[in-house]
Amino acid sequence: MSLSARPAKVPFDPEALSYAPVLEALFARPPATIPGLLVVAGSRARTGGWAAKAAIALAEAWADRDRRIVLADLDAVAPELHEHLDEANGEGLADLFEFGASVSRIARVLPGRAFRFVPAGAYVPDPEGLLRDARWVRLLREFAEDQATLLAYAPAEAAGVEQLARRIGKVAILATADEADEIAARFDEFATVELVLVREGVTGIVDGGVDGSAEADAAEVAALAPTPSVAPFDVASGAEDAERAREEEILSEPAFISRERSRRRGPSPVLWVAVALVVALGGWFAYRTYRSSAEPAAVAQEAEPAEKAVEPAAPAEPAGVPLPFSVAIEAHQDYATAQERIVALTEAEPGITFYLAPIPYDSLVYHRVLAGPVADTAAAHALMRRLVDEGHKTAMDQWAIRPTILAFEIGEYATREEAAARGKELLAQGIPTYVVEVPYTVGPSRFRLYAGAYESAAQAEVMAQLLRDAGLVPRLVERSGKPVA
């Protein structure tokens, strides 16, 4: 996103009861368009608890607009939302990802508040891994199906937060005036920056105080750093213990005493001759026995050579990546018009895949024209820019980046031509499809035929009925494969 298209910095007071128009516009958007919003807090904005209070106020105000909101604390190093909500930091996100707990079980209903809350969790073994986890895509899909929104609160400097921004696709920034632009520019690469809310009157920390104020609570700033949970190791004591153990080991070892050997008289010559005869007879007997047993084995080996063991080859597995995003171009009530646009777009841009997704809306069916599929919002931005530059789309519209992880899998074929041929057969029955390449761990790629692209199972019901009418069993799956270049 260009700097000029970035939202303006809006002063925000968590205690205020009225909100700026940009916030009211966000609250008014349909739930399906925002299943998740990553709320990124700058380090200076977090001092004194302003960012935490702002995130709570944002969740409260949004939930008051008849919206199902879940506020989650992703700051696993120094969680603080639970303190401002007078809640314990017990079962939380760590249990969701590490132990398979459900959102409905860990999302708490708070007395006197309209939203639900998920704490970070008392023990998070891998904070970075939690933010990078690929299961966020599935979690966001569940929120989209439930017509709910997840507000994920995280520090701007947390390791892995950029990867999470790619998956969620939309970001709100809480910052001081002097850190807001830097944070916004950083996240422009990964997602759409929807809001930049600024803490008024705070620009930095100097001389132990906020804005040079001697009354700043330095202890509160120091509390942001994680406290070690393991007692320090005493090097001197450890060395003494190791040396004491070595001494005990030496004292417990057995002692060996060398003794002088006594002189003995040598054997007689007659004994040597007898020993030589016995050895010779034993060798001759052993040789005869060996010949008698080795000859049949050699003959059998010549007649029937031994088979060499062949190790089984590793099975080929799909190696595609999730493709959760599409770019919406336009929508038509008339199926024939929409299909004509697909043909025209494909002829103009053969390197891009275009496809239709019929969706129900207010008792009508609209045929959405989409391009993609792509793996993240950054790729979706680039694809949308290309479509606008070539005149295929009217303008850069952030709403047009759709989280369409679900699609109907029709089949998988050895070549693109086979998949396209099957697609033509289904098109004759009124079922539009598209082909996605799927790389494999062993051998060449295969080609998967998909139908539709949806944010939830409810949106996909029109296409499901078309497949049933054609005698097919609808298989709604999470779309994956090789993204477009």
Specify if 235 maps to a domain. no
Give the end of a domain, one of 196, 222, 248: 222
The reported pLDDT for the residue numbered 214 is: 33
What phi, psi does 171 have (nearest 5°)? -135, 140
Residues 207 and 344 in one domain: no
Residue finishing a domain among 160, 195, 222: 222
Residue 277 maps to a domain: no
Q: How far apart are CA 212 and CA 199, in angstroms?
A: 16
Q: Which of 222, 244, 271 is the last residue of a domain?
A: 222
Same domain flag for 194 and 49 = yes
Question: In this structure, are residues 77 and 107 in contact, taking their beta carbons and an 8 Å threshold?
Answer: no
Assigned domain for 311 exists: no
Domains held by the chain: number: 2
263 lies in some domain: no
Position 8 scores a pLDDT of 86
Is the same domain home to 17 and 139?
yes
The sign one gets for the Cα dihedral 104, 105, 106, 107 is positive
Residue pair 479/412 in contact (Cβ under 8 Å)? The answer is no
Query: 437: Cβ–Cβ under 8 A, 6 or more apart, which residues?
Result: 416, 445, 446, 447, 448, 481, 482
**Residues spanned by the domain of 326:** 321-481
Same domain, 218 and 357: no
Tell me the pLDDT tens digit for each residue of 317-357: 899 999 999 999 998 989 999 999 999 999 999 999 999 99
Tell me whether residue 149 is in a domain. Answer: yes
| Helix 161-168, helix 136-145: angle, nearest 10 | 30
Neighbours of 233 (CB within 10 A): 7
User: Would you state the structure tokens that stand for residue 202, as one six-digit string?
Assistant: 């705070």
Same domain, 60 and 207: yes
- Is 314 a member of any domain? no
Per-residue confidence (pLDDT) for residue 23, from 0 to 100: 87
DSSP codes, 329-347? EEEESSHHHHHHHHHHHHH
Which CATH number do you get for residue 446? 3.30.70.1070
* pLDDT single digits (tens) 108-120: 888 889 999 999 8
Q: Which positions of the chain have pLDDT values less than 70? A: 1-5, 98-102, 201-313, 485
